[in-house]
Amino acid sequence: MRLWSDSWINGERIPVRFAAGKPDGRGGVTFSDNLSPHLAWSEVPAGTRSFALICHDFDVPSRGDDVNQIGREIPADLPRVDFFHWVMVDLPATLGEITEGQFSRGFTARGKPGPALSGPAYAGLPAARQGLNDYTGWFAGDLEMAGNYFGYDGPFPPFNDSLIHHYVFTVYALSVARAPVEGHFTGAQVRAAIYPHILAEATHSGTYTLNPRLLR
């Protein structure tokens, strides 16, 4: 199975328009265009009945003590954990492409609706469902931003992280038409649930940072 994108070359820096956060030009950060990227896949195995899609960042600090603290930098040797940016299941087996901006245009405070998809952009995806991304937990204690964040929300790494973050988009070909998850499911739940049903998978990745020292 093969996965590619017209949005950026595999392994290179993700353009700012696909990120949730960007430099504000005054030494700080602000929200960005948050466009969902173009993705396309081919060489799908026989027996595929649906696709699942997961995007995760594996460089997220395991502790928040130093996150976004002016005058401090998150050490590179701090243990890292996964942060899920996009979780989607039940994409039809006939699908081979997602267009740029199809699933996200702008950052929505309190999160985009889900898990079901509605609107003309999703007319060919009647059964597709989007899970919760990890901004749900990140904003849980924020009175203005707290909510259920479904679908795609792009990179917004700590502006003081000494590591450049890596974002991995993975498309899974599954042997089942409906992924065995229900309700407001998460990336970790989807990973565990689809594991026995994966026929093939392919990845496309990119990097992103908001650390001014690393942007020079």
- Number of Cβ atoms within 10 Å of the Cβ of 43: 10
Residue (of 152, 189, 157) closest to 55 by Cα position: 152
Q: What is the pLDDT of residues 91-126, one digit of tens each?
A: 999 999 999 999 999 999 999 999 999 888 898 899
Domain residue limits, the chain: 2-215
Higher pLDDT, 116 or 26: 116
Specify the CATH number of the domain 2-215. Answer: 3.90.280.10
At 115, the amino acid letter reads: P
The first and second tokens of residue 57, run together, are 């960042």
pLDDT value for 123: 85
Mean pLDDT of the chain: 96
Q: What is the pLDDT of residues 42-100, one digit of tens each?
A: 999 999 999 999 999 999 999 888 899 888 999 999 999 999 999 999 999 999 999 99
Q: Which residue has the tokens 């889900």?
A: 114
Cα 164 from Cα 149, distance rounded (Å): 24
DSSP-based three-state secondary structure for 114: coil
Residue 198 has pLDDT above 90, yes or no: yes
**Cβ atoms 133, 151 nearer than 8 A:** yes
The first and second tokens of residue 185, run together, are 């499911």
Residue (of 33, 38, 27) closest to 206 by Cα position: 38
pLDDT value for 27: 82
DSSP-based three-state secondary structure for 172: strand
